Homo-oligomer: A and B are copies of this chain.
Amino acid sequence: MPGARPKTRDADATRARILAAAKEEFARLGLGGARVDEIAEKAQANKRMIYHYFGSKENLFRIVLEEAWLDIRNAEQELELDHLPPEAALETLVRFTWNYYLDNPEFITLVNSANLHRGRHLEGSERLRTASRRFVNMVRDILDRGVAAGVFRPGIDPVQLNITIAAIGYYYLTNRHTGAILFERDFMTPQALAERLAFNIETVMRLVRA
């Protein structure tokens, strides 16, 4: 929940409250479903302020998206995977990705919304491209070290591996509602979550092992 409005005027705080409320609403209802009035109310701000700080609903969406992505890329960097042996580094990345999706469920729905709109709102974000390049290099480094140590097979594309690591967690969580109906099981019990994580680690390890 965005915090309460401060007594005195504070541009940064108001901007931040709007951003937090927008993230919630866009994640819950998508770009088309979210209401600017609702965002303003949740942020304890006036709708006029949204247009003052962000210009348009679409631009607000754009900034929410960019922030969300920069957040996960920063968190990945803080894992310092280059300090771990390759197998431990990869398993840590799989666990981290899974837990990040669990702890930040709005990230997944925001990404879905962005893609429904064909990625239009992320085009031209140089900050994001830079962060992503660093991330891919980190995974490439893990793979290279694993090959050198003889524990990973050579020739694996780090981008394909990244996509797979994200996919096996992301899909399970984003499609948990229809999954629960089709497969007649609760996807979100602690046991179900633990089983899925173990399955995913096994999948990735078998994929890379020499």
Contact = CB atoms under 8 A, between A and B. Distances in A.
Nearest to A34: B32
Contacts of A160: 195-196, 199
A19 to B, nearest CB: 19
- This protein's copies in its complex: 2
Chain A contact surface mostly = helix
A10 to B, nearest CB: 33
Nearest to A178: B119
Nearest to A129: B184
Contacts of A32: 29-30, 32-33
Contact of A167 (B120, B172, B182): B172
A128 interface: yes
| Chain A contact patch, size range | 35 or more
A122 interface: yes
14 contacts: A33-B33, A112-B174, A115-B176, A118-B177, A119-B180, A132-B183, A162-B183, A163-B171, A164-B203, A166-B171, A167-B167, A167-B171, A170-B171, A206-B206
Q: What are the 10 closest A-B residue pairs judged by CB atoms, nearest first?
A: A119-B177, A167-B171, A32-B33, A132-B182, A32-B32, A206-B206, A167-B167, A160-B199, A118-B177, A119-B178
